[in-house]
Amino acid sequence: MVPCTVHTVRRMTPQSVVVTLDPGAALPRFRHTPGQRVTFCLDINNTPCLRSYNLVNQLGDLPQVAVKQVAEGGSSQLFNEQLQPGDVLQVAPPMGHLYDHRLDYKAHHLFLFAAGSGITPMFSVAQHALKARPDHRVTLIYANSSARSIMMQQDLDRMAGSKRFEVFHVLGDGATGEDLSTGRLDHAKLNRLLDQYRSKDLPEVAFQSGPAGFMDLIQEVATQQSTPFDVKRYSFAEQPFVHPQDHSSSALESELTVTVNGISHTLPNVSRRKTLLEAADEAGIAMTANCKSGICHRCKAKLISGQTFQAPSKNTKRMPENGWILCCQQRPGSAQVEIEVC
Ligand code: FES
């Protein structure tokens, strides 16, 4: 993790901000490829949480992330409501493999599909492609609930000045009044959009980012076309698995000891991708759990030793008291972790 100073916080929409970071002398470590993200170690309610956001800056500029505030999103709230220039955040350098630079060997038509905050990796790809070659062309289909939710609008408007970039907005609230750009994107609308925008002169490559249902729809319609095409999905799957305070190991596995009713069970190779509850369940250790969403607190355990961290996208609204963890919400974060279920 690299300490980065918050350089600026710029409001983009009522629910989103662009945050610029200054990593100082570590700036070269933040060189990125389109669609890569950085991971922050944030303190949410006294619990270290890892959260990843896409870089939206031009290559070589200070790293920038765009963060949309979501209901009950502890990290997005922190970015949108609390962060101030001068604050220092711990940030892991960029990772992810979305864009293959071999695309830039010859001209392509890049077809991008985004919904809501899924715009950030697509924006990064578009920005790069327009700069990388004078003959790349980019079409972006961007779905939002309303015009007020459109992220990166100023930047998209600026890019739309180029004849090589087209953006088509689809708004759920019907604000445009036009059939094709109003309401939910469905099979019929998508087919019409593809008829309108698919390229006849350049080889095509497609990328998408958004909720699973949105991406499934795009892929389904793309494969049903008379000339089917594949749509590369943006994925949040890659995360660093080492707790930022654990310098002892870079392994992706931990030794987990779980004591239940006075009996200890040691699990030697627990993947750091799993929650403690998932690991115990798989090993046949009987642990009490109900909601598996951080709400009921029935999976509460005492952290005896080692470090754990909040799994991505898990609930951070109501946390247990200091020294206790929710096993359905935490993943192993150090070489050894010991917990006791009381
Ligand atoms: S099972 Fe309900 S909080 Fe973990």
Predicted pLDDT of residue 247: 45
By residue range, what is the domain housing residue 257? 253-341
Pocket lining: 291 vs ligand 1, CB cutoff 6 Å: yes
Atom from ligand 1 closest to the CA of residue 315? 3
Predicted pLDDT of residue 314: 52
CA 1 / ligand 1 centre spacing (Å): 30
Q: Does residue 78 fall inside a structural domain?
A: yes
Residue type, 270: V
Number of structural domains, the chain? 3
| Shared domain check, 204 and 124 | yes
Longest dimension (CA), the chain: 70
Pocket lining: 292 vs ligand 1, CB cutoff 6 Å: yes
| Shared domain check, 299 and 207 | no
Residue type, 79: F
| Shared domain check, 106 and 90 | no
Burial 289-315 (b: 16+ CB within 10 A, else e): beebebeeeebbbebeebbbbbbeebb
CATH number at residue 7: 2.40.30.10
Predicted pLDDT of residue 251: 55
Q: Does residue 245 fall inside a structural domain?
A: no
Predicted pLDDT of residue 68: 87
Predicted pLDDT of residue 316: 57
Domain boundary among 95, 117, 152: 95
Tokens describing residue 155: 């930047």
- Residue 106: partners with Cβ closer than 8 Å, 6 or more residues away: 203
Q: Does residue 49 fall inside a structural domain?
A: yes
| Shared domain check, 317 and 265 | yes
Looking only at the bridges linking them, the beta strands covering 300-305 and 253-260 are: unpaired
Q: Does residue 238 fall inside a structural domain?
A: no
| Shared domain check, 128 and 88 | no
Q: Does residue 163 fall inside a structural domain?
A: yes
| Shared domain check, 114 and 75 | no
Residue type, 271: S
- Residue 188: partners with Cβ closer than 8 Å, 6 or more residues away: none
| Shared domain check, 105 and 91 | no
Backbone angles phi, psi at 335, to 5 degrees: -55, -40
| Shared domain check, 91 and 105 | no
Predicted pLDDT of residue 160: 86
Domain boundary among 233, 267, 293: 233
Burial 7-39 (b: 16+ CB within 10 A, else e): eebeebbebbbbbbbbbeeebeebebbbbbbbb
Q: Does residue 331 fall inside a structural domain?
A: yes
| Shared domain check, 72 and 108 | no
Pocket lining: 298 vs ligand 1, CB cutoff 6 Å: yes
As a whole number of angstroms, the distance between CA 42 and CA 82 comes to 12
Predicted pLDDT of residue 130: 94
Domain boundary among 37, 63, 95: 95
Q: Does residue 240 fall inside a structural domain?
A: no
Q: Does residue 134 fall inside a structural domain?
A: yes
Pocket lining: 328 vs ligand 1, CB cutoff 6 Å: yes
| Shared domain check, 105 and 86 | no
| Shared domain check, 149 and 69 | no
CATH number at residue 150: 3.40.50.80
- Cβ neighbours, 10 Å, residue 340: 14
The DSSP annotation for 105-166 comes to GS--EEEEEEEGGGHHHHHHHHHHHHHH-TT-EEEEEEEESSGGG-TTHHHHHHHTTSTTEE
User: Cβ distance 137 to 148 under 8 Å?
Assistant: no
In 130-284, where do the E strands start and end?
137-144, 165-171, 204-209, 231-233, 253-260, 263-271
Probe ligand 1: pick from 47, 292, 310, 325, max atoms within 8 Å of CB?
292
| Shared domain check, 229 and 106 | yes
Query: What is the model's pTM?
Result: 0.68
CATH number at residue 296: 3.10.20.30
Which residue from 229, 213, 218, 165 is spatially nearest to 193, judged by alpha carbons?
A: 218
- Residue 248: partners with Cβ closer than 8 Å, 6 or more residues away: 334, 335
As a whole number of angstroms, the distance between CA 105 and CA 95 comes to 23
pLDDT averages per 10-residue partition of the chain, 342 residues: 93 90 93 88 77 87 90 80 94 86 92 92 93 94 90 90 91 75 86 87 91 89 86 67 48 86 91 88 89 87 89 62 88 90 86
End-to-end CA distance of the chain: 34
